[in-house]
Structure 1
Amino acid sequence: MMMKLSGLWPALLTPLTEGGDVDHPALAALVEDLVLRRVDGVVPLGSTGEFTEFNAAERRAVLETVVRAVDHRVPVLAGVSGLSTAETCGHATIAAEAGVDAVLALPPVYWKVSDDRIFDHFVSVADAAGLPVVVYDFPGLTAQPLAPALLRRLAVEEPRVIGAKLTVRDVMAVTAALAATRPHRPDFSIVTGFEDLIPAAMWAGADGAISGMANVIPDELVALVDALENGRPGATESHRAVMADFDIYGLSEPAIPGIKAAAAALGRIPRANWRLDAGPEGPVLDAAAAWAAVRQPTSQRKDAA
């Protein structure tokens, strides 16, 4: 049965030890907590997971830990992106061997290539993984958006591509992707990567979100997506709660160290260590501590789950 990408999927943080190694017990604990909070799937080794900072052996170990922790309760969508098609295909093979359910891939990074070349890239990733593929559009970092015509071609010609994650600032890009794919492939999933766009994207017909903030405020995001999916009351209040925390993305540049520091300050992960270069860690930790100090305590979040 083909996996369906819908609902709320946390883009997992990758907790690290004080020495900078992957903290596998902390990663497993984070996954367990999120599964119990009724997320619809998990996404290790995406942008929030610092995928660029880990070698092949570390990636395999991360995925094996996540698959064990999930224990078939929700699907695992593994990030497999790399600089080249060959590198991405290598990561896709590793992900399949680790037992994930599907893979998430950016287009080739660094070189600008044609849409035909990007199409072939995703077909190669599907061949290497032998699993469903979700294509990842993040033009803010790749500077190479996935055009609606390319998404249409993937939807029509490559059934192993089951959807697209659109980390785009313009909701019109989401509606263009829906218009390009849904008339030809009603089962083709479109999800947003920015939490502020979740209501607009889902009202337009998108299926949900892959969210970095879900590591920190999972209950609020589960409630928001659930209300929007099922037409329940409370979506406005849930979105306001999410937007009250949206300034988490301004705690560091890039944003992931700040999210990690905020997660640690709220007790979501044991410590705030990262591999990305965000400058001196002191200002990031101070900003995250101040951010967390005015948020609801972690114990109250858990009691409300």
Structure 2
Amino acid sequence: MTNKKFQGVIPPVSIIVDEQGRLDKKGMATVIDFLIEARVDGLFFLGTGGEFSQMSVEERKEVASFTTEYVNGRVPVLIGTGSTNTREVVLLSQHAESVGADAVVVINPYFWNLTEENLFAHYSEIANSVNLPILLYNFPTMTGQDLTPEFVLKLVDAHENIVGIKETVESVSHIRDMILTMKGKHPDFVVFSGFDDHFLQTLTLGGDGAISASVNFAPELALGVYKGFKENRIDEAVSFHQRMAVLPTMYKLDSPFVSVVKEAMKLRGMDISTNVLAPARSLSAEKIEELKKILVQADLLESAPVK
């Protein structure tokens, strides 16, 4: 099974909702068209920034159906199907396959810390339930449990449809070990960075791309890093990366950070509602001012004129 269609810059797309928390299809279409026109390499729906953890199964299915149909094969579509229970992941993964998604992205169960045997059985059951490529999603800050390179290797040895991983980890050495361990035996296995500030290091270590939230409002930065690196214009890649590395400071403005990303999209001119699903809340006026300063620092907004 080839997975080289999964590489480059793939945003974890913000899901646009109305005041009642229902999917805003017009706003969602605006975001999808904007990102495809920016020349991203794929779209990942229902990741952390896609508020999947605040949605019911039916809401998640609706998002998966609408987005896959609207993208209509223009770029690969990845659907996040992770959950705290295995039956739900299987159900959502089979649904994603039935609506025509190109891959599913599966975070490990949060809340419980699983034995390695139980975690292996969880992923095996999912891998056996679909023919779609599966990307693992390692975000130990959220799940409380790390997917180690050794564990991932065992999984991939057993299931050829597990084709990659999103590494949302603080440690660059973890990303390095994942790349060396996996590509040593499975050269086509893809490794994506999840944090903006690790993107360039991930590429230099032999990784394949970024799945990071800033692409929603500043696709030109991650795409500039990737293109500069691929075309051996390293100075250019570094200069884009220096701007991109400023952005994670904005995620400290609020938790969950989903409202921060939507406000940044709006500040950069996207005509969308910035409603979020509770327990996330709208960003205060003071925090929006702080966000503007960070965007100015990253050269993404003109600084406000001095009065």
Q: TM-score, normalised by structure 2?
A: 0.91
One-letter identity of the residue aligned with 1:54: M
RMSD over aligned Cα atoms: 1.9
Runs of 4 or more off by more than 6 Å in structure 1? none
Structure 2: stretches of 5+ with no match in the other structure:
303-307
- TM-superposed CA distance for 1:244, in Å, is 3.3
Q: Residues 298 and 59 (structure 1 numbering): CA distance in 2 closer, same or farther, change over 3 Å?
A: farther
Aligned residues: 297
- TM-superposed CA distance for 1:73, in Å, is 1.6
1-structure distance, mates of 2:231, 2:76: 21
Does the 8 Å CA contact 2:107/2:136 hold for their aligned counterparts? yes
One-letter identity of the residue aligned with 1:199: L
Does the 8 Å CA contact 2:9/2:226 hold for their aligned counterparts? yes
Structure 1: stretches of 5+ with no match in the other structure:
300-305
2-structure distance, mates of 1:189, 1:238: 23
Which position in structure 2 is the counterpart of 1:286? Answer: 286
One-letter identity of the residue aligned with 1:44: F
Residue correspondence of structure 1 range 122-141 to structure 2 within 5 A: 122-141=123-142
Does the 8 Å CA contact 1:224/1:239 hold for their aligned counterparts? yes
- TM-superposed CA distance for 1:246, in Å, is 3.1
Which position in structure 2 is the counterpart of 1:303? Answer: none
Which position in structure 1 is the counterpart of 2:237? Answer: 235
1-structure distance, mates of 2:266, 2:21: 15
CA deviation string 1:244-287 (max 9, x = no partner): 333221221122222122222323351211014245x352x431
Structure 1, 286-295 or 222-231: larger mean CA deviation: 286-295
2-structure distance, mates of 1:157, 1:151: 10
- TM-superposed CA distance for 1:59, in Å, is 1.4
2-structure distance, mates of 1:282, 1:79: 25
2-structure distance, mates of 1:71, 1:16: 21
2-structure distance, mates of 1:91, 1:147: 25
Give the share of equivalent positions with the same residue, in percent.
27
One-letter identity of the residue aligned with 2:252: G
Q: TM-score, normalised by structure 1?
A: 0.91
Q: Residues 217 and 282 (structure 1 numbering): CA distance in 2 closer, same or farther, change over 3 Å?
A: closer
Q: Residues 298 and 270 (structure 1 numbering): CA distance in 2 closer, same or farther, change over 3 Å?
A: farther
- TM-superposed CA distance for 1:297, in Å, is 6.7
Structure 1, 116-125 or 194-203: larger mean CA deviation: 116-125
- TM-superposed CA distance for 1:127, in Å, is 2.4
Q: Residues 212 and 276 (structure 1 numbering): CA distance in 2 closer, same or farther, change over 3 Å?
A: farther
Does the 8 Å CA contact 1:32/1:69 hold for their aligned counterparts? no
Residue correspondence of structure 1 range 1-305 to structure 2 within 5 A: 2-4=2-4, 5-233=6-234, 234-278=236-280, 281=282, 283=284, 285-292=285-292, 295=296
